[in-house]
Chains A and B, each alone.
Chain A
Amino acid sequence: MDWQKLDWADIFRRLVLFAFRRRQLRGMPGSLADAEDLAAEAIRRLFDSNYAPWDPAHEPDLLRHLGSTVNGLLSNEMRAARVKLERSLSVPSVLEWAEQNAVADAHPDRADDYRYAVSLLEARITNDEIASQLLSLEEEGVTKAALQAAQLKLDVAAIYAARRRLARHCQAVRRELNGESSLKNGLGRGLN
């Protein structure tokens, strides 16, 4: 691999954006600068012999490999945060907070919330045939654009375009839900 020939500015920008979205999805507060730290760490580990090396036979795409490292780093971060929380449970206010969250997480309405979110999304894409079909494929676990293109007998560019539309609708639904949630309980927890 000739590392010098790669467009590292592009790789880094994509990875930063990816890390930012991943943090958001996991409900972890953080700025773009935090995402940049994560992206930098993922790249650094690529060259650090203390970590498992990139195996192109397993994941031929470098960016996907880096994305997976970002996912791992985020999991570590969440685990560390949980440990910290457990250690501080002797503080009554923290204990109370944790209990409230545990109750909220186990709430039976949660599944209804998920269904409601997806129904909002479906309503938004009802006239977008490709996006609707993609939704079905995603549910079936067909998540790769190339496979989706093959199944729908469409050009991969058309699939990418539909996935971008779908991503925008998802963000709109999330904003809508966060707005509703804020209005309802003043917390803005949303559906994470």
Chain B
Amino acid sequence: MKLRKAPIDNLTLQRLEQSLDEDLLTEAYSLEEIADQLRALGGNPEAIGERGKALMSGLLGNADPHAHSGQLSASPFGGVPVSEQRQEVFFDSGASDVGHLAFRAFGKTYGSEHEAVIDFLEAITPAEVAASEAIREWLRTCQIDCVKGGLRMVAEREAYHGRAFTERLIELGRTVPASVRPEIRESIDYLRDTSLSDLEKLQRASGRYPNPEDAMQPLFEFISLLKEDQQTKEMLRLFAADELSTLRWQNTLCAVLTEMKRNGQIVAE
């Protein structure tokens, strides 16, 4: 069928593009085409997909979030406040839209987004500083070169996280708490324990967070809820990327070294 060719008077480019963009949600575009377009925009489609899956696994494992209370915990290297158990974390996604309702994150209810940000920064800042120091202590006794190389970088990261968050806390009119919160302290102290071997430390860390993406998801979700404090949001986004990288590094290295030890290729004691 041929349509009568009439002058196009009432269609705007914007309206047309709106209609055509709906196709992104349909089979009109293949998986590859969607991935290509994300890449063209500077995105990493694989990572985006993984974050989507992690978000869903969090939501599906969180059917009755309000029934659980949460607590801050820590990552092996630096006190990232992620939950030990997915069920302990919940978020009220609509809260910060209006800025006056309760803001819920990490299993706690805050009066506002600002309060949640302060609580987070006050928990994380001394933890990052302490983790950096503990890793430096580990470095002094570390026997395995590849572990040493990674630890050097991780120690630097933790230290700069601590410095940057300190500055942010001061800008927000607060000071850095003098001590690390007890629930985080425990996940840092073993790093300086000379009775543990390098591999044992790595195994302890990886055993605690076998899936880095899942472990970091609560933090990514917290970040996505921040609407007002854009400065802290971007800091946390980069911080989360660093922490995810650290977790991936430690788990990969741990798996390799554990296998090598099993095969007698290293002593690693």
Q: Which residues of A contact B (CB under 8 A)?
A: 3-4, 8-18, 20-22, 25, 32-33, 36-37, 39-41, 43-45, 47-48, 50-51, 61, 63-64, 66-67, 76, 80, 114-115, 117-119, 121-122, 132-133, 135-139, 143, 145, 151-153, 160, 163-164, 166-167, 170-171, 173-174, 191-192
Contact = CB atoms under 8 A, between A and B. Distances in A.
B11 A167 contact: no
A138 B43 contact: no
B97 A138 contact: no
Overall SS of chain B's interface? helix
Overall SS of chain A's interface? helix
A121 to B, nearest CB: 7
Contacts of A143: 19, 22
A103 B3 CA distance: 39
A164 B23 contact: yes
Interface residues of B, number: 57
23 contacts: A3-B56, A8-B49, A9-B52, A11-B52, A12-B49, A14-B34, A17-B37, A20-B41, A21-B17, A21-B24, A45-B94, A47-B62, A50-B92, A80-B97, A117-B12, A136-B4, A138-B15, A151-B3, A166-B20, A170-B13, A170-B20, A171-B17, A191-B14
B52 A163 contact: no
A11 B24 CA distance: 10
Interface stretch (B25-33, B124-132, B174-182): B25-33
Given A44-B59, A138-B11, A17 B94 contact: no
Interface of B: 1-6, 8-29, 31, 33-35, 37-38, 41-43, 45, 48-53, 55-56, 59-60, 62, 91-94, 97, 221, 224, 237
